[in-house]
Chain A
């Protein structure tokens, strides 16, 4: 009998190797899961790519206005948030490592820390949004938009892009937090031991991607023109 022998049970059973029925073994399943996540991240790059294209176009058209508008963002809190997110990625990397070594409780701990750091990021972001709202820099529906100087309209474009891009990023982060919390609970119960840690690695990739998007957003909005 070849090693690729499949279980006889109907439905989506798991073979004696623990892999889903369509795979030969866990290593096979892992390679598929990771390829799936990388492919998904490629779609994400294109998804964010549309917004980055918009940013590049308008920043080229209205460089002056974008420079001025960027000055109204909070460099301090933006910088802190960048640090928070980078540290969270380190925590996720530790979680992936711990899962690979079969240390479920340690994995859960690192994932929980990452989620907590994600929450800090969201809280800081909310604080920044609130400030923008108070300063009438939030061009939402009928809210008044007040921007000093001759470039008010173009600055409004800047803030449109700012809110949508950071907003979509924050949404991705919230999804990531949900995922790592679920994985934290599962790994606490030892679900990923014995080489079954492919989901941990896949979610880790997602988290790093969301982090990497911020690494581009931060200079484009906060540092540009300073």
Chain B
């Protein structure tokens, strides 16, 4: 069975089906979306079972698509793909449970979520560059509509900004893809071959330009300072589930591309620019934390911490690029970077839910107007505290082992950068603790006293995420044994 193709095709077909559902079937879109996601999850579970941790890219499924152009449907998994695809399905499942827009989930909302799910999975599993690019742009369209249709007050502005930035990022990627294609011989869009053969290896200027084209595209998506200005707008204006998916899954596409393309296919050029990239990552980590420190809107604060956390990922990738072909530090940094992507997806997903829950109850997310919430809503308060601690990197929760690995890997190559980056952790710790103190401790004002605690639907949405980030914190090998970059980073099959 083509399990990987199936995991992509089922959500996409279900999205089409949503358009054809009769308007009177009110619960049907939600059931359809959940069913399709369950099938995807099952397909990936089978893939986990069949996955051989001792090998790199594997379980490749291949079918001709446009042979004259050299384009084929080619999907496969290595540790990074499998981990990120699994994260994707989990986050979509909880987002569908929580819903988007009016309840029950409308046909249009279910269709958009499923389109986004299918294309995101296709992006992480694609091993053909055209499929990769098609998926990249489809996520852009689906996310645009999710923000523009069901977002908050300034949704139009945020949606167009998101569209514009991502399009500006995706087009250089297209040029880079064509350049790699034309430089391979025989010409190919096969990402597995390109990762093994390193086209453009001998050509300094072309390789640098192609590296830059890909880097700009992925840096916008990640996002790295100074390409980050779309992020706060999009995250704040998106509906709750939209923010969860945006931060949890879509940001990972940038970092994934950086590893999959820049690091694996253009290692020589990346080696040359590793220090610059690491410095950009450092600036992002620190600047993101500083900006977050200045926020009083909880959602905005979380959005900025994403810049900080993704900055660590980029530092790790750059450190790996600087070490050359192999080495323990290199694998440590990449393992950490991928684990950080997973952990950040789970933790920040939870955080955006937390921000959505309070907005729904108190009609504000302004930390200065909130106080004593722990007493009014003990379950909600505890959940928030746990997610805050996870995000600031408390040992025992998922982001701790990830950040530790990144710092250990980076310390070998860029001790100064690693040391300064730690300041970012201190800053995030400070801002989360301050937020906790402001909103959850202290006096409980009268107007907030009767807020209802977590509802069943909300618990169902966050419980899987919390369970996973706690489990990963206690036993990171759960995912690390799959990620295991030593087996795929060099590009072998």
Note whether A and B form a binding pair. no
CB within 8 Å of A: which residues of B?
A: none
Which A residues have a C-beta under 8 Å from some C-beta of B? Answer: none
